[in-house]
Amino acid sequence: MHSDKKIRWGNRTRAAFLCVFLSLSSGAAFAGEIVAIVHPGNAATEFSVDDLKKIFMMNRKNWPDGTGITIWLPAWGSDEMNALTTKVIKCGSEANLKKYYLTAIFQQKIVEIPTSVRDEQEAARLVATNAGGIAIVDESKIPGDTGVKVVRIKDF
């Protein structure tokens, strides 16, 4: 009797389990590419690591069209901040970056330490509404329809 109600798993079941696996995967937080986001009106198409280093070290304060650059730092302690300190600015640590910005204040390079954002959503919101804004984010965490322009980082 039980054999009459034999469960046929076959191809259908295998496909189902594959779907379960894919459905779980589609919601997972895979780390994406670290990119820069700028205002949609910004003409930049690609940044080099050297470009970003000059921008985030406040050595370059204006875009080519003369618009002042406003940087939004990643959240302190985040992976994006780690990428900024180790791969872009190469100062070794967040503590060194804080020290650099404080030194820059005393050298009259800047007036205040740049503001850091909570997450990619806040970064996108600020950059989208600030003509000179730029932030470093994980592309996979950018919420949809934010109105920012994603700019790849060459040789990152």
Binding region for another protein (CB under 8 A): 4-9, 12-13, 15-17, 19-20, 22-28, 30-34, 50, 59-62, 66, 68, 70, 90-92, 95-96, 98-99, 102-103, 105-108, 111-112, 125-126, 128-130, 139-140, 144-145, 147, 156
Spell out the residues 6+ positions from residue 1 whose beta carbon is closer than 8 angstroms to its own.
none
As measured in angstroms, the least distance from the Cβ of 120 to another protein is 13
Instruction: Give ∠ CA 26-28-33 in degrees, rounded to 5.
Output: 100
Min dist CB 148 to another protein, Å, is 12
Order of strands across the sheet with 34-38? Answer: 46-48, 149-154, 34-38, 133-138, 70-72
Q: Give CA–CA dist 122/85, Å, rounded.
A: 20
**5 vs 45, which CB is nearer to another protein?**
5
- In whole angstroms, how close is the CB of 54 to another protein at the nearest point? 8
